[in-house]
Chains A and B, each alone.
Chain A
């Protein structure tokens, strides 16, 4: 029931997004017909291409066309390849998801472990080292780190391929580089909330029961610290989809992010519009999943059937 209601509530949001995406793309400087025709084209040639692309139709007709393309892929085709946009997106999406989900999972695992280590021995050597690495992870721009990693692991050591996506080995570097940010965020977050929880009375009770410190931390303290972490993970995942624009360009991975970059530089309106709409749908779904996870972890947030 909750899920359905949330999804229903998302519909107006998605409608607004569709309107904004459509209008903003229309405001992007540059005329797709002119870009396709090249700088030496005459006005008549540009006009004929504009007519062919349907850019002369009134705004409302074009918006209707755009909405129709959501369920009828045959009318939503790329200006450049003439293939349905959904085919273009479907072909690229798996690469984007492999990198984003892989990066998130590794980032969360590594970050949580680092956070626990920091919290167990605050002020120790491990804590100091993790703090330094965390700061580096948060401050280093991904594209810069990516290029450094390519230089070290591909050019210098020769362990991994530099760019491309033809074998699983090609995904190792991008996933590791992507994972740095969530890892850094999580280690800070988990460490902070664990340190805060560590002094709580219920943990003393647990210790008094004779549980080992590890059990206390893992079974009792961590569960409460994860509540905040889950919502951060959701936001991070969304950020990663957006960040795919950068990582996929650096590592030459054919994902949705790169498709979007190419589409913007060539004014391929349909690809830009549907790709952004797809990202918006993802954000809605991610938010929903985060909420459900939070409810599962924290009974206080569950809706209660209050007696009237």
Chain B
């Protein structure tokens, strides 16, 4: 009897305590169901190249820095960072006492090991080139990491804030091998509990997590459904709370549901026809004529179903907005285009151009190409759209300009970081400069911008580069894609980054 009364008291006390605890920290509650279109082959940040993988890495792993939903850099594991006076050593202080979800300590040594693994040629990471400027990474004591830079880089924060730079547990990775790509051991608020290849995966709270974004959900369940119609059916039947990539034709149907709405956050995906700058396109008048010949507003509405915003600069929104410069939109002026073509010496029907487009890579890419061909025909250009499969397209737009037999290629660019985007596309002779663009002033500015760490100077430098590129028109500038995500009304606090990464930090369910 006594023991019974005792246990009742204990139970009552425990209930009371847990009630108090619940008031202090909201317990994770509810299961969020997400339907995604692409099957993430791996969550290993050294190899992942899909937004779904970014979203999982953001929830399961932590980096030194992270990007907020507007792509601003915030501290994550880092508490403080500074450059040495000569700009060659970048040191980062990290939070003390962090552990991975398996209990291993997350100290400076673990951070250095994670970076050195990605930079090691034997790892074969697809991001090694992007991060090569970090040089070698060393741990100094328990809480300081030093990057001995291979070259000065004033954009190191942007690099470190990407999910590709998330800290992996190298010890666990060695034990698990390729399985680590499915159940990565990290220090983020969630961990992968279950992964069924091609079917889906489930995230649950990481009990060892300590930080600013504690898990708010009891589980996040992802289902992989590549077919658009079937994925939308999950939203319509209420079997999913969030569906990725709503096709333009389904937006009205989802919005008509009582239980869900389509949100359309901006995407940094900047879609352009990238020109091969030789032959007729070496003439700036022809490039300008092409830019004037396209009714961006009309195509964005009519073909993209509203999922596009006419470009006002080469780089899309969210590409380091503090350095981004925008310009008045390019007018739709077929008469002006015809005049420019005549000035350049082409009679109607004399100029023939071909352009390569992928199938199913960008929103309505095939239809867009046909619309563009129509626009060119209207100003007297013989246009040949070459619609090819994705493999061929990758090959064509990745060729050296001298080898290309077409005149333009449709490519979307979405890279966080002004330096990365502009340097790779417009610096003379750089491996990823596929237009053959070369401008000594731009080269000088890009070099200077990479070396400087002063934000005000960077702003002036990159402002000028963006202006020159916008005026030179090495691209037929088109639009920025708009994301379309179906979200059930019971989901609160959901956010999306401009690079299409879903952010679950503050999601709760009603």
Q: Are B129 and A48 in contact (CB under 8 A)?
A: yes
Decide yes or no whether B179 CB sits under 8 A from chain A: yes
Q: Is A44 an interface residue (CB 8 A)?
A: yes
Inter-chain contact A35/B394, CB cutoff 8 Å: yes
A36 with B126, Cβ < 8 A, contacts A81-B41, A252-B226 known: yes
Judged by a CB distance under 8 angstroms, whether B389 is at the interface is yes
Q: Which residues of B contact A41 (CB under 8 A)?
A: 126, 129, 431-432
Question: Per a CB cutoff under 8 Å, which of B121, B230, B391, B415 touches A162?
Answer: B230
B contact residues around A150 at 8 Å (CB): 229-230, 233
B183 CB, nearest partner CB in chain A, Å: 12
- For the complex, is A65 an interface residue (Cβ under 8 Å from B)? no
A-B Cβ contacts below 8 A, count:
171
Q: How far is the CB of B141 from chain A (nearest CB, A)?
A: 33
Which residues does chain B contribute within 8 Å of A30, judged by CB atoms? 389-395
Query: Which of B32-53 touch A at CB < 8 Å?
Result: 35, 39, 41-42, 47, 49
Q: A42: which B residues are within 8 A, CB to CB?
A: 129, 424, 430-432
Contacts of A268 in B (CB 8 A): 41
B222 nearest CB across to chain A (Å): 11
0/1 string, A82-107, CB within 8 A of B gives 1: 11100010011000000000000000
Task: Kindly list chain A residues whose C-beta atoms are within 8 Å of the C-beta of B390.
Answer: 30, 35, 265
Q: B432 and A77: CB pair below 8 A?
A: no
- Cβ contacts under 8 Å, A84 to chain B: 178
When the two chains form the complex, which single residue of B49, B121, B230, B425 contacts A48, counting CB atoms closer than 8 Å?
A: B121
> Which of chain A's residues has its CB closest to B229's CB?
A147
Q: When A31-B395, A36-B126, A88-B197 are in contact, do A82 and B432 touch as well, CB less than 8 Å? A: no
B244 interface residue per 8 A CB criterion: no
Query: Are A77 and B178 closer than 8 Å at their CB atoms?
Result: yes
Given A35-B394, A45-B128, A53-B124, the answer on whether A40 and B432 have CB atoms closer than 8 Å is yes
| Residue from A37, A81, A91, A166 in contact with B126 in the complex, judged by beta carbons closer than 8 Å | A37
Is B236 among interface residues, defined by CB-CB distance under 8 A? yes
Contact with B along A227-264 (1 / 0, CB 8 A): 00000000000000000000001111111001101100
CB interface residues, B 378-427, toward A, < 8 Å:
388-395, 397-398, 411, 413, 415, 420-421, 424-425
Interface string of A14-53 (1 = CB under 8 A from B): 0000000000000011110011111111111110110011
CB–CB A44/B392 < 8 A: no
Residues from chain B with a CB closer than 8 A to the CB of A155 are: 233, 236-237
Known contacts: A31-B395, A41-B432. The answer to whether A162 contacts B234 by CB under 8 A is yes
A80 to B49, CA, bound (A): 10
> Chain B 3-33 against A: per-residue CB contact (8 Å), 1 yes, 0 no?
0000000000000000000000000000000
- For chain A, the bracket of interface size reads 35 or more
Whether B128 pairs with A48 at a CB distance below 8 angstroms is: yes
Q: A149: shortest Cβ distance to chain B, in Å?
A: 10
Residues of B within 8 A of A69 (CB): none
B247 is an interface residue with CB less than 8 A from chain A: no
CA distance A30 to B198 in the complex (A): 23
Q: How far is the CB of B157 from chain A (nearest CB, A)?
A: 19
Q: Which residues of A contact B196 (CB under 8 A)?
A: 91, 166, 254
Contact of A249 among B197, B226, B392 (CB under 8 A): B226
Task: Indicate with 1 or 0, residue by residue over B176-200, a CB within 8 angstroms of chain A CB atoms.
Answer: 0111010000000000000011111
**CB of A195 within 8 A of chain B?**
no
> Chain B residues with Cβ under 8 A from A259's Cβ?
197-198
Q: Which of B199, B223, B391, B413 contacts A267 (CB 8 A)?
A: B391
Task: Check: A78 CB closer than 8 A to any chain B CB.
Answer: yes
Instruction: A3 to B47: give the CA distance in the assembly, Å.
Output: 46
CB distance from B380 to the nearest CB of A (A): 31
Instruction: Report how far A164 CA is from B239 CA in the complex, Å.
Output: 10
Smallest CB separation, A265 vs chain B (Å): 6
Per the bound structure, the CA–CA distance linking A46 and B224 in Å amounts to 29
Question: Which listed residue, A29, A158, A253, touches B391 by the CB 8 Å rule?
Answer: A29
Q: Which of A49, A166, A250 contacts B124 (CB 8 A)?
A: A49
Whether the pair B224, A252 counts as a contact (CB closer than 8 A) is yes
A80 touches B42 (CB 8 A): yes
Q: Tell whether A203 is near chain B: CB-to-CB under 8 Å.
A: no
Q: Does A67 contact B (CB under 8 A)?
A: no
A40 to B432 alpha-carbon distance, docked (Å): 6
Residue A151, interface by CB 8 Å: yes
Q: Which of A37, A43, A163 contacts B225 (CB 8 A)?
A: A163
Contact: A166 with B226, CB < 8 Å? no
Is B231 interfacial (CB 8 A cutoff)? yes
A160 (CB) vs chain B CBs: closest residue: B237
**A83–B229 contact, CB under 8 A?**
no
Whether B178 pairs with A82 at a CB distance below 8 angstroms is: yes
- List B contacts of A49 (CB < 8 A): 124, 126
Bits for A256-291, please: 1 = Cβ < 8 Å to B, else 0: 001101100111100000000000000000000000
How many angstroms from the CA of A42 to the CA of B413 in the assembled complex? 14
A151 to B196 CA separation, bound complex (whole angstroms): 26
Complex Cα distance, B430 from A234, in Å, reads 56
B227 CB within 8 Å of chain A: yes
Asked if residues B233 and A162 are in contact (CB atoms below 8 Å), the reply is yes
B227 and chain A: residue at smallest CB distance? A250
CB neighbours of B234 from chain A (8 A): 162-164
Residues of A close to B124: CB separation below 8 A: 48-49, 52-53
| Alpha-carbon distance between A162 and B233 when the two chains are bound, in angstroms | 6
**In the assembled complex, how far is the CB of residue A304 from the closest CB belonging to chain B, in whole angstroms?**
49
> Closest chain B residue to A39 by CB distance?
B411
Contact of B230 (CB < 8 Å), options: A44, A251, A267 = A251
Cα–Cα, bound, A30→B430 (Å): 21
Chain B neighbourhood of A35, CB < 8 A: 390-391, 394
How far is A161 from B41 in the complex, measured between Cα atoms in Å? 25
A residues near B178, Cβ cutoff 8 Å: 77, 81-84
A53 to B47, CA, bound (A): 13
Whether, in the assembled complex, A165 has its beta carbon less than 8 Å from a beta carbon of chain B, the answer is: yes
Which residues from chain B contact A249 at a C-beta distance below 8 Å? 226-227
CA distance A291 to B411 in the complex (A): 53
Binding site for B on A (CB under 8 A): 28-31, 34-46, 48-49, 52-53, 77-78, 80-84, 88, 91-92, 147, 150-151, 154-155, 158, 161-166, 249-255, 258-259, 261-262, 265-268
Q: Other than the known A31-B395, A40-B413, what 13 A-B pairs have Cβ atoms closer than 8 Å?
A: A30-B389, A35-B394, A41-B129, A43-B431, A48-B128, A91-B196, A92-B198, A155-B233, A161-B237, A163-B231, A249-B227, A252-B226, A258-B39
Could you pull out 9 A-B pairs where Cβ atoms are within 8 angstroms?
A29-B392, A30-B391, A39-B397, A48-B129, A82-B47, A91-B198, A147-B229, A155-B233, A163-B234
Q: Which 6 A-B pairs have the closest CB atoms?
A: A30-B391, A42-B431, A254-B198, A45-B129, A52-B124, A162-B233
